[in-house]
Amino acid sequence: PRKQSLRTLRASYNKGEPITVLTAYDYPSALHADLAGVQCVLVGDSVGMVVLGHRTTQPVTIADMIHHTRAARRGVASALLVADLPFGSYERSPAQAVDTALQIIKETGADAVKLEGGVSRQKSIAAIADAGIAVFGHVGLMPQAVSNLGGFRAMGRTSKEAICVLDDARAVQDAGAFALVVECVPNRVADVVTKALDIPTIGIGSGNACSGQVLVYHDMLGILNHPHHAKVAPKFSKQFAGLASHIHEAILQYCSEVKQRDFPDKLHSPYRIPDEEFEQFL
């Protein structure tokens, strides 16, 4: 796949060609995304939910993000690599946001950082961009604000909320972000936001009018959709595969073959000792 940069993403946007974004959290998932030609790999703080087993993204730390982004970095050759700033690492002040963004970029080699918030984070986005770091915004549903929202829910379903989403999106653009995620807003609102901006909107749960799309790796592959542990992906996330049932079948088969002494068979017992060596050993 072609090496991606802010300029190649911009070229897709200018042609009206949808931009592909997928999350990844480690070497294999990043490699899979990169080899398939995904344009932008996002190490999301969704790592807290789909990899670390937390119920929200709030517990994710800077150390978690650095650990996972470093692993993803080793799997990405072509895509633009973006890392989320986790909850609590940038809200206090623009200076804190710059410190965290610099730390993550320097310690991981990510190409850009992403943070949630619009009007309320405009100064922080501008400060990070001024420090020389490419910034990805995130408006609409902002999962780090789950406590204030009272749960994960769609945003912009009233005119008042839709105006807030549009104001946030404009604030992110004016602050100097190169793109922004628009999460869980009605299609028609995402369409208006997309047309109002001149940077790409990357939709998730926000319909088909955005400048690109992002999904969570584990959700789109059905990795957590286990036959005996129904943890369903969000309803907007199409499952392009149902890996959990394949994984479950494979592990059942492994256990059964071990119990039966069918595994390992000859083919999977490759190491030989010559007869005379073996006789001396005995």
Query: Where does this chain bind ligand KIV (CB under 6 A)?
Result: 23, 42, 44-46, 84, 138, 181, 204, 214, 216
Cβ of residue 84: shortest distance to ligand KIV, in angstroms? Answer: 5
121/138 with CB nearer ligand KIV = 138
Closest CA to 193 of 151, 139, 252: 139
Please report how close the Cβ of residue 17 comes to ligand KIV at its closest, in angstroms.
20
Buried-exposed string 251-268: b where 16+ CB fall within 10 A, e elsewhere: eeeeeeeeeeeeeeeeee
Indicate the SS3 state at residue 181: strand
Binding of residue 44 to Na ion (CB under 5 A): yes
Query: Shortest distance, CB of residue 58 to ligand KIV, whole angstroms?
Result: 12
For 54: left if phi > 0, alpha if psi spans -120 to 50, otherwise beta; the answer is beta
Residue closer to Na ion, measured from CB, 180 or 192 = 180
279 carries an active-site annotation:
no
Which residue among 45, 111, 191, 219 contacts Na ion (CB under 5 A)?
A: 45
Angle between helices 187-196 and 159-175 (to 10 degrees): 30
Phi/psi of residue 138, nearest 5 degrees = -160, 115
91, 116, 161, 183: which is the annotated catalytic residue? Answer: 183
Beta carbon nearer to ligand KIV, 80 or 204 = 204
Q: What residue 181 binds from ligand KIV, Na ion, none (CB within 5 to 8 A, per partner kind)?
A: ligand KIV
Whether 20 contacts 79, CB under 8 Å: no
Tell me the CA distances in angstroms from 276 to 98, 266, 272, 279, 281, one per residue in order. Answer: 68, 21, 12, 5, 8
Minimum distance from residue 60 beta carbon to Na ion (Å) = 9
On whether the CB atoms of residues 92 and 138 are closer than 8 A, the answer is no
216 binds, among Na ion, ligand KIV, none (CB under 5 to 8 A by kind): ligand KIV
The stretch near Na ion (CB under 5 A) out of 43-51, 72-80, 124-132, 261-269 is 43-51
Site for Na ion in 57-86 (CB under 5 A): 84
Binding of residue 191 to Na ion (CB under 5 A): no
The candidate with the shortest Cα–Cα distance to 182, out of 158, 214, 151, 218, is: 214
Q: How far is the CB of 215 from Na ion (least distance, A)?
A: 12
Q: How far apart are CA 72 and CA 76, in angstroms?
A: 6
Nearer to ligand KIV, 210 or 216 (CB): 216
**Partner interacting with residue 23 (select from ligand KIV, Na ion, none; CB below 5-8 Å by kind):** ligand KIV
Dihedral of CA 199/193/219/141: which sign? positive
> Which letter does DSSP use for residue 41 in this model?
E
Contacting positions for Na ion (CB under 5 A): 44-45, 84
Catalytic residues: 183
